[in-house]
Amino acid sequence: MRSFSDLSRRQALQRALGLGALAAAPLRAAQIPLAVQVYSVRKEAAADLAGTLDKLAKMGYNGVEFAGFYNHSAAAVKKMLANTGLKAYSSHTGIKVLTGDELQKTIDFHAEIGCPHLVAPSLPRTATADGWKAHAAALTEIAAKLKPHNMKTGFHNHAIEFVAVEGQVPMEILFDNTPADVIMQLDVGHAVRAGADPIAYMNKYRGRARSLHIKDFSPDSEDILLGQGVVKWPEVFKAATTVGNTEVYIVEQERYPFPPLECVERCLKTLKQMLGRA
């Protein structure tokens, strides 16, 4: 039997993380693109969006998820993406600009930059089940209006959506009362923070976890990077490729043990190692 020291760096990481299960996952597991939420490097992006996107591309990211465009026009953002080779897989888009007179402007902007998924990053707080059902109805209406434009809406969770109101879990109210084309953008770290099982949610709402926020969680420290927490990543990736219909993994880092750009670069390297792409 070989000693731990005889193993390659990649093999050691795989064994430490229990990644043998990934070998049986579909081939598409190796094809899921790797993106980063631009909010992770928000100060850098606010100061120089073009330069920041260029740095993210050179790290090896395939694309980005935007959370605002820092007063740049769609034409300017489209040019930045073309110059870097990055794809805009999705954007965090406030519910206010997904409704009323703002919706068409939002559609036009995202169509120009080639961004198909307009994900609500949060919804107005409500302490009633009926309030969450109203949110579900709003997302359903938005989804119907986006469909002719080959776009989808969805919802990105925080921890609060797993805290029951009137005996019901808001996350479940939302996805029990929306059609299948409303995306469940599962933020894995926030789900685990809330004590929820992300794998169970991917199984419960099969085919709807079209994008995952790749974020770790530790009960001992907020200042951690991917791979340093308690998330069961092998199980998450297996569910993503077997029942989740996941199309993109999106790294998000909200706290910084190192400078933000270094954090997301380290996270990308770890993610590639976890997926056997290093």
Name the domain count of the chain: 1
Residue 1, helix vs strand vs coil = coil
Q: Which helix (H) or strand (E) holds 204?
A: helix 198-204
Q: Is residue 115 part of a domain?
A: yes
Residue range(s) defining the domain that contains residue 85: 27-274
Q: Is residue 14 part of a domain?
A: no
Specify the pTM: 0.89
Per residue in 247-267, pLDDT (tens digit) is: 999 999 999 999 999 999 999
Q: Is residue 4 part of a domain?
A: no
Per residue in 38-63, pLDDT (tens digit) is: 999 999 999 999 999 999 999 999 99
Q: How far apart are CA 112 and CA 179, in angstroms?
A: 26
Q: Is residue 21 part of a domain?
A: no
Q: Which residues pair with 187 in a beta bridge?
A: 213
The alpha carbon torsion through 203, 182, 178, 95 (nearest 10 deg) reads: 130
The reported pLDDT for the residue numbered 24 is: 39
Query: Above 70 in pLDDT, residue 7?
Result: no
The reported pLDDT for the residue numbered 13 is: 43
Q: Is residue 64 part of a domain?
A: yes
Q: Is residue 70 part of a domain?
A: yes
- Give 89-158 as a DSSP string: EEEE--GGGGSTTHHHHHHHHHHHHT--EEEES-----SSHHHHHHHHHHHHHHHHHHGGGT-EEEEE--
DSSP at 178: S
The alpha carbon torsion through 199, 243, 249, 149 (nearest 10 deg) reads: -130
Q: How far apart are CA 82 and CA 59, in angstroms?
A: 16
The reported pLDDT for the residue numbered 278 is: 82
CB 28 within 8 A of CB 241: yes
CB 258 within 8 A of CB 44: no
Q: Is residue 6 part of a domain?
A: no
Q: Which residues pair with 266 in a beta bridge?
A: none
Question: Cα dihedral sign for 22, 154, 72, 88?
Answer: positive
Domain CATH number, residue 253: 3.20.20.150
Q: How far apart are CA 134 and CA 78, in angstroms?
A: 35
- Determine the residue type at 6: D
Q: How far apart are CA 71 and CA 74, in angstroms?
A: 9
Per residue in 133-166, pLDDT (tens digit) is: 999 999 999 999 999 999 999 999 999 999 999 9
